[in-house]
Structure 1
Amino acid sequence: MPPLAATLAATLALRAGVSLARAAREHRSADRRRRDRRFGLLAGEPTAQAMQRIALGQLDVAIDALQSGGDPGSLEKTVHETRKALKRLRALLRLLAPRLHEDERAREDALLQSCAKRLSGARDADVLLATLDALIERRPRKLEGRGGVLRLRAHLLGERERARRATLGDPAIRAEALAELRACRVRVGAWPAFECEDFELVQPGLTHLYRQGRSRYRRAAHGRGDRTQTMHRWRKRVKDLRYAAQMLLLADGEQVPRPKRGGARRRWAQAHKDSTWLCRVERRSDRLGELLGDEHDLAVLEEYIRAQRRDGGVRIGSRSRKALAKLIAKRRRELRKEALREGERLFGGSPRKFAGRVASAQLLGARKPFS
């Protein structure tokens, strides 16, 4: 081969090798990012390390969503992904509350709540429209052709577009939220080592979440206080319990081999059984949270319709307004009844026994749990 051709071939081979190496590094980096952002335990991962990794991962999810949320067509997805990550983070802070300095926990919780409020206008407008559409879909004969309902829907559609432009469509709002979340990430990355490890780290917070959820369920079941607020406050702890269950389960794809020895094998079998139970708790909490969320969304729509009449807003008309009020009240009763049935199943045990079963389930993710 002539010298020039050999040099050219070597150069091309070198460039190809560099490109392949870069692609391999990027692939490994992407795999590492996906692994770090998994919302659950990794096999053999210390609980303290897992909680910090999950917190940093959810902050990264929120930051990435906001950074890529400038396209008007992606605003709805951006709002959803960001708010979901912020809710998970606040649930994690509540789970770790007994182990964190109160001032530190309160500061981060207030910051995350502030970021979520910046997005609440777009989310609330989306929910109002979706709730009305779901109601129309359930009772098309009674609502679909009514002029007042059509005017209300058109008004909500316009409100949604205005709210979207006023939130993430504003670069200043997005920049403020990004700056706060990046600062929060630095502080979370510098968390000091916890004095306790494994389940002992989360046991007090988990017990408190379950006890508070059970107390709020009982208050709702006995009809105490303002019904709308009582159900909404209960929903907050149900959502926290769901996220806590997700965090304390092995992430999808993570496995712990079954031991061969008798005693270790029996402990593994019990942990596997309790892990399956915790999966059911997570699914039931999710289902209950959806029921309570739908009930609250209808309450918000009901109040919005009242406000339109009181403040001289969109003209709905008395017949359409009465039809909507009747159907909303009926659907809310159905949802409350179903939610209370689910709540009885979820909150029928004692907080101490609940925490004990979660401790057993968490052994599947602990370091050398069956040695």
Structure 2
Amino acid sequence: MSYRLRKQSISHEVRRVARKALEGGLKEMLTLDERGSDTAVHEARKHLKRVRALIRLIRPAMGDAFYKRENAALRETAQRMASIRDAHVRVQTIQKLIARSRSHRAAFDYIHEAMNARLQEVLDESGTNHWNRHVAADIEHAICRVDDWPVQELEASSLRDGLKSAFKKARRALATAQLDLTDDHLHTLRKRIKDVRYHLQLLGGDHLPQIEALTQKFRDLGDTLGDDHDLAELLTARDETPLPHSVDWANLERAIAALRTRSQRAALRLATSLLAPKPRAFADLILDHWEKWRSSP
């Protein structure tokens, strides 16, 4: 239950969860050579996302000054790993396309080779600036700040307000994406969906079945939107990665367009269903389950 609020005081649990997640990210940086950069970066960034989701949950009670300070610091730390993350994701995405493609294999192989070459360049560049040491130092500083988080007055109502706010923002992001289906709007929707998913995980108690089922649906939706984002990001490499034959990128664009059309339709349908409840009703439902569990023997 490392990323779940247990039955102790809310202030104690918020600090414990934050500290545990940050320590997980720090461990990834300190064991980078053993784990490999792709796994270490992915896991470290995931730990940081969990902490950022946690502070969004308590933002209404804590105020903007606290949130903006901590969120900006954690975002900057994550950004140190962005180029490595992006390069790895592009390689993994083209590998998935190759595995499921029945045509244009030669074109995709050319692009795969180019993405691998770019990944190696990024790894070579990062090896000279000791980025993981800077990330580790940032996380250590963040761990030290947790004890000073002013969370003493947090109550269940604080979490209720935070979840309602997150759900409302997800609904707003969905409405925006439905009106104007751009990569940026879909990416914003994905981030807001992940916030709700992380909040549900925090409030899942001892794997409460009602909340677990919802958490899985939000996770599935976030994964679908994440795959769509990865496809969009792969295409951004076109300008910086010229190939001998321009038709190779054209073939990739056509293949990606077909995949994205289907996945986006499915994602928007699921998002519309999951975000149908009113924010207050959704927050009340989840917090009622959590408080009932919390007060049980």
TM-score band (shorter)? over 0.9
- What amino acid is the match of 2:193? V
Query: 2:234 aligned to 301, 321, 342, which one?
Result: 301
**Distance (whole Å) between structure 1 residues aligned to residue 270 and residue 184 of structure 2:** 19
1:103 offset after TM fit, Å? 2.2
**Distance (whole Å) between structure 2 residues aligned to residue 249 and residue 364 of structure 1:** 12
1:98-117 aligned within 5 A: 98-117=60-79
1:247 offset after TM fit, Å? 0.7
Bigger CA drift: 174-183 or 229-238?
A: 174-183
1:186 offset after TM fit, Å? 1.3
Structure 2 unaligned residues grouped into runs of 5+: none
Q: TM-score, normalised by structure 1?
A: 0.75
1:165 offset after TM fit, Å? 3.6
Does 2:153 match 1:220? Answer: no
SS at structure 1 position matched to 2:114: helix
**Distance (whole Å) between structure 2 residues aligned to residue 293 and residue 196 of structure 1:** 32
**Distance (whole Å) between structure 2 residues aligned to residue 361 and residue 134 of structure 1:** 39
**Distance (whole Å) between structure 2 residues aligned to residue 127 and residue 282 of structure 1:** 25
**Distance (whole Å) between structure 1 residues aligned to residue 86 and residue 263 of structure 2:** 20
1:365 offset after TM fit, Å? 4.2
1:115 offset after TM fit, Å? 1.0
**TM-aligned CA distance change 1:365 to 1:184, over 3 Å:** farther
1:84 offset after TM fit, Å? 0.5
Does 2:208 match 1:208? Answer: no
Aligned-residue Cα RMSD (Å) equals: 1.9
Residue 50 of structure 1: aligned partner: 13
Q: Deviations over 1:167-198 (max 9, x none)?
A: 3x45632222222211111111222343242x
Query: 1:189 aligned to 119, 122, 147, which one?
Result: 147
**Distance (whole Å) between structure 2 residues aligned to residue 363 and residue 249 of structure 1:** 10
1:267-306 aligned within 5 A: 275-305=208-238
1:94-133 aligned within 5 A: 94-133=56-95
**TM-aligned CA distance change 1:108 to 1:315, over 3 Å:** same
Residue 104 of structure 2: aligned partner: 143
Residue 360 of structure 1: aligned partner: 288
Residue 255 of structure 1: aligned partner: none
Residue 53 of structure 2: aligned partner: 91
1:364 offset after TM fit, Å? 4.5
**Distance (whole Å) between structure 2 residues aligned to residue 243 and residue 251 of structure 1:** 15
SS at structure 2 position matched to 1:142: coil
**Distance (whole Å) between structure 2 residues aligned to residue 93 and residue 192 of structure 1:** 12
Identity of aligned residues (%): 26
Q: TM-score, normalised by structure 2?
A: 0.93
**Distance (whole Å) between structure 2 residues aligned to residue 287 and residue 359 of structure 1:** 22
- What amino acid is the match of 1:288? L
Residue 244 of structure 1: aligned partner: 199
1:213 offset after TM fit, Å? 0.2
**Distance (whole Å) between structure 2 residues aligned to residue 189 and residue 78 of structure 1:** 26
Asked if 1 retains the 8 angstrom alpha-carbon contact of 2:98 and 2:109, the reply is no
Residue 59 of structure 1: aligned partner: 22
Does 2:272 match 1:344? Answer: yes
Q: Deviations over 1:299-328 (max 9, x none)?
A: 1112222x14xxxx4315243222211111
SS at structure 2 position matched to 1:149: helix
**TM-aligned CA distance change 1:126 to 1:251, over 3 Å:** farther
**Distance (whole Å) between structure 2 residues aligned to residue 193 and residue 129 of structure 1:** 42
SS at structure 1 position matched to 2:103: helix
SS at structure 2 position matched to 1:104: helix
SS at structure 1 position matched to 2:117: helix
**Distance (whole Å) between structure 2 residues aligned to residue 150 and residue 196 of structure 1:** 54
Asked if 2 retains the 8 angstrom alpha-carbon contact of 1:99 and 1:194, the reply is no
